[in-house]
Structure 1
Amino acid sequence: MSDIVLIAPPIREFYLTKKRTIPYGLACIAKQLEQAEFSCTIIDALARNKSKIIEYPKKFSHLIPHYGRTDITLFSLFHHYRHFGYSFEHIANLVRQERPFLVGISALFTPYWGQALDTARQVKRFWPSAFIVLGGHHATQFPETCLKCKEIDFVIQGEGEAPMVQLARQLKNQAPGTLPEADDLRQISGIGFKQGNGIVLNPPAWADSPHGLDQNALDKIDWHFYQRNKKAAITIVASRGCPFSCSYCAVSASSNYGKFRIRPVKDVLDEIKLQVRSKQIGFIDFEDENLTLKKSWALELLDGIRQIFKGQDIELRAMNGLFPPSLDTEILTAMKATGFKTLNLSVGSFSATQLKRFRRPDVRQAHDRVLDIAKDLDMDCVSYLLGAAPGQTAATTLNDLLTLATRRTVAGLSIYYPAPGSADYVLCEKQELLPHDFTSMRSTAFPVVDTTSRLEAVTLLRLARILNFLKFCVDQNGVLPKALSADEILDMENSCHGEMDRYEASTLLIRLFLTDAIPRGMDHEGRIYPHPHSINLCKKFIQTLKNITLFGAVQSSSSQGADLIPDSTRIDH
């Protein structure tokens, strides 16, 4: 049995990247609770490999024309909507077995708020004597909305390590169903609670110098689930916050998030050493916003990691993205030597106007310089763009994609969603662009319709996938698939039935697309069908490809670009 149970709830989504769902934040809170002599258990509802196909929410009816049919191609979007993780009843039963006096539930992302609430409801039903506190980004941004739910007794705004300890001390000897004195609760940093018919909210709590995990906290994570190639895949957070003021980001200096704070290098290395003692590590993801922003610190960290894993094969990634101006030959060489094989580069846009609208530093020249260095070091790259934001046209995003077509990098396009707490969220609210419910506030739902229509947004995302498949073809074959004649298109659409290999199907449909600019899908029976699309965007995409040299994504010196038409005009970079 445990005094306190911390829960990472299930989520409902079209996909899940499980190596990014490690409950690192809950483990940080568990560390502080146990150091304060409270026994603590983490229930990670996502630590299971099975998922359940469920119906689309009613608010997602607009997605059915785009996602509603199976597409086996390698550049397909999404299809099934799923419940990832344990059932709410199973979680509640696990809580009842622990018999805690306090249950903390993580609500990190607003579109998954419904699953956090359903978890709270079932926990209250199975174990009504426990107090329930909700924390995370959603609770920080919408504390009053959360507290209006009868199952939620408290919220914590900001970072939860110190507030959870303070709250636990107040509640430890409290009778079930009775709250401490309001004056005592007001002394807890970041806390929100109900008082009579009103709600009391203290300012968010931010740690001055955040630290990581000890062995006790690490042991509470189910590392058997988080594996990559039969080795442990771990997460490290070496810094918190961000000094930049990008309008779309809820962790930026323009939001109400805490300031940028870097952990001491020794503290980070000690945490990694603890992990090495208990498991064989094959992958480390740094979930920092700006891992390499302070060069001397980053070089010291990389040197320390090399000493820890000397002679071992390990891969490092910074999947939240790297700031290109912070990367030079010295630091990239050190990253390569330490185990970075792929660089996730944050760009935003190649449009000066759009970068200004995003309040984003202009990283375009630095991005191209990094690609050149990465090529010499034989490192792969993924370049991240943001599309369909307020005021951003579809033509701007298409030009961004076509710019990446002429670079040796994978195109990573994210469709804009309004992140609560960001400057753009306030803008969307003022312009009445916000979706009408929290569930729709996700990239996969194309939530904002402004200067880019929803059909254009879906088309752009599909074109990004198509572009990356074309880059794959260049890397594999040195040339692009050939277009077809009109007669060949009709013949193939009418005669193509039965199961087909994914690569073969993808190549066939790409050849069709390069001929008439119609993106198509193929179901498991081999039936070909057209996807809804913006024909203007698709035609401009293909026409531009005819006049440039399209490069693959592999940064090998032997990798060559490919022309759609051999004697076309080249644009080399």
Structure 2
Amino acid sequence: MRRLSHPHICWTDNDGPRILGINPWITDFAAFNVWSRPVGLLACLDMLRNAGASVALLDCMDRTWEDVAWPTPGQYATGRYPKETLPLPPAMASMERRYSRYGLPHDHVRQALAALDPPPEAILVTSIMTYWYPGSLHMLDLAAELWPDVPRLLGGTYATLCADHARIHADADLIMQGSMEKRTNWDTLWNLLHRPAPPLPDNAGLGLALDLYNEPNYAPILGSRGCPFTCDYCASHALYPKFTQGEPDRIFASIASEYERGVRDFAFYDDALLVNPDQWLWPLLTRITEAGLDLRLHTPNAMHVRSLTRDVCHRLKQAGLHTVRLGLETTDFENRHDVKLTEQEWKDGANTLLEAGFDLDDIGVYILFGLPNQNPANVEDAIRHVQAFGFRPHLAHYTPIPGSPMFHEAVAASPYPLEQEPLFQNNSIWPCVPGGFNWEDARRWKSLLHGTG
């Protein structure tokens, strides 16, 4: 049950404290929606509701606001966001790029928040990328203006990995490092509400409050948190030190509920989807197939190629996998920064996908670009190698992430103050490429990706 407060922001019908979760705008040079959802925030709201709180969600990237003019949707519910051009941040004033705020119009958001009745008793603002923090800080300021006495908490990637920066710049009562299921974070939130902390609910961190969206056109699937691997360029261990996997019955129930609401596109958010698949993935896919759900599955986070056996590919194809993304990273197989992958394993996995009946247009392959001291010739070799298979190469632009093993190497290679200013961690500026981003090279790489260079 939900109590109407605003057409898109409704309190759930619980008697506990009212807690508003906010996913703020994206501030960047470019943004594209690839089944994006703030899963960390949705996990927090699910936990809080299960503990008795009344929760609501404002997602500034939510396409379901029918009174907003959105660009025409792309394939499988992906697409562009509305945007408003902003002045460049002072630290980036010398860059000849257009900087924008993406998502719902500012006036719509402010009016919706001001109309909340009753008002929140606590506010959770998330931060998905470190360099998107201006949107989070602005949202905190807006909340302070509307409800100066209501506790404001900042969580997410920026709060966790750039906590010192956030403590200086964010108008928040708590900078929440790590996930809500950490006992210190859980207890502190309830202390700010002047209430005793209830026990952590079952399934803490793996359930998602997806029903807070009105008439969604896609939904995430979260079967696990964290990752058992320690790739040099990834900060998964800093964000979620423990690798945990969910229960297939709970995950299927979430999918079935969204399917009943008309959702047909589901995106896996797991960092290690094919690790220990007997734990939850195989039972889940079996349930989907047996229930006859005519849905489309997508893997935007990429799958580990070495795990693509004939059985794996058959199960995925039968259950409805449409968008296949693979993590090749590089064809320099002797000098990798991720899980060791041999050339033979890559070829076997790629060929097995085709044998299972996946269309070439469905398969995209990520190649790392812009690593510290990377030889561009290796990137070109990888692009041509992927194209020789008939697959579509995608450049995965390197983001120097605090907490990742490679970050100190990135700091040494970059001309920008990566440690002091998270804005320069933005992969759009090619922070570790000599000379940084330039349009001529961008056009050249684009032509190579399309096979015309």
Q: TM-score, normalised by structure 2?
A: 0.82
Amino acid at match of 1:465: K
Deviation at 1:20, TM superposition (A): 3.0
Give the counterpart of 1:171 among 192, 215, 230.
192
SS of residue matched to 2:312 = helix
Amino acid at match of 1:238: G
C-alpha contact (below 8 Å) 1:53/1:81 kept by paired residues: yes
Task: Write the distance in 2 (CA, Å) between the matches of 1:166 and 1:88.
Answer: 33
Task: Write the distance in 2 (CA, Å) between the matches of 1:468 and 1:142.
Answer: 34
Matches of residues 444-523 of structure 1 in structure 2 within 5 Å? 444-449=428-433, 452-454=434-436, 461-470=442-451
Could you say which structure has the larger radius of gyration? Answer: 1
Task: Write the distance in 1 (CA, Å) between the matches of 2:338 and 2:266.
Answer: 31
Corresponding position of 2:83? 51
Query: Over residues 188-212 of structure 1, what are the superposed CA-to-partner deviations in whole Å (9 max), with x where a residue is unaligned?
Result: 99xxxxxxxxxxxxxxx9x996431
Q: Does 1:327 align with 2:359?
A: no
Deviation at 1:59, TM superposition (A): 4.6
Deviation at 1:299, TM superposition (A): 2.4
Question: How many residues get paired?
Answer: 411
C-alpha contact (below 8 Å) 1:269/1:301 kept by paired residues: yes
Give the counterpart of 2:330 among 325, 329, 349.
349
For residues 465 and 364 of structure 1, do their structure 2 counterparts lie closer, same or farther at Cα, with a shift above 3 Å needed? Answer: farther
Corresponding position of 1:422? 404
Corresponding position of 1:97? 115
Unaligned runs of 5+ in 2: 6-10, 12-17, 64-69, 71-81
Task: Write the distance in 1 (CA, Å) between the matches of 2:439 and 2:375.
Answer: 13
C-alpha contact (below 8 Å) 1:4/1:38 kept by paired residues: yes
Matches of residues 85-124 of structure 1 in structure 2 within 5 Å? 85-87=103-105, 90-98=108-116, 99-124=119-144
Task: Write the distance in 2 (CA, Å) between the matches of 1:421 and 1:401.
Answer: 29
Corresponding position of 1:235? 220
Q: Does 1:82 align with 2:97?
A: no
Task: Write the distance in 1 (CA, Å) between the matches of 2:340 and 2:203.
Answer: 26
Corresponding position of 1:403? 385
For residues 373 and 282 of structure 1, do their structure 2 counterparts lie closer, same or farther at Cα, with a shift above 3 Å needed? Answer: same
SS of residue matched to 2:228 = coil
For residues 395 and 110 of structure 1, do their structure 2 counterparts lie closer, same or farther at Cα, with a shift above 3 Å needed? Answer: same
C-alpha contact (below 8 Å) 2:125/2:154 kept by paired residues: yes
Greater mean alpha carbon deviation, residues 156-165 or residues 318-327 = 156-165
Unaligned runs of 5+ in 1: 69-79, 175-183, 190-204, 228-232, 471-509, 511-541, 543-573
Corresponding position of 1:370? 349
SS of residue matched to 1:281 = coil
Task: Write the distance in 2 (CA, Å) between the matches of 1:270 and 1:107.
Answer: 28
Greater mean alpha carbon deviation, residues 30-39 or residues 49-58 = 49-58
C-alpha contact (below 8 Å) 2:372/2:413 kept by paired residues: no
Task: Write the distance in 2 (CA, Å) between the matches of 1:407 and 1:459.
Answer: 28
Q: Percent identity?
A: 21
Task: Write the distance in 2 (CA, Å) between the matches of 1:266 and 1:432.
Answer: 47
Query: Over residues 99-126 of structure 1, what are the superposed CA-to-partner deviations in whole Å (9 max), with x where a residue is unaligned?
Result: 2221110012111011101111121112
Corresponding position of 1:438? 422
Corresponding position of 2:248? 265
For residues 250 and 418 of structure 1, do their structure 2 counterparts lie closer, same or farther at Cα, with a shift above 3 Å needed? Answer: same
Deviation at 1:371, TM superposition (A): 1.8
Give the counterpart of 1:136 among 132, 141, 156.
156
Q: TM-score, normalised by structure 1?
A: 0.66
For residues 33 and 398 of structure 1, do their structure 2 counterparts lie closer, same or farther at Cα, with a shift above 3 Å needed? Answer: same
C-alpha contact (below 8 Å) 1:295/1:326 kept by paired residues: no
Task: Write the distance in 2 (CA, Å) between the matches of 1:19 and 1:281.
Answer: 15
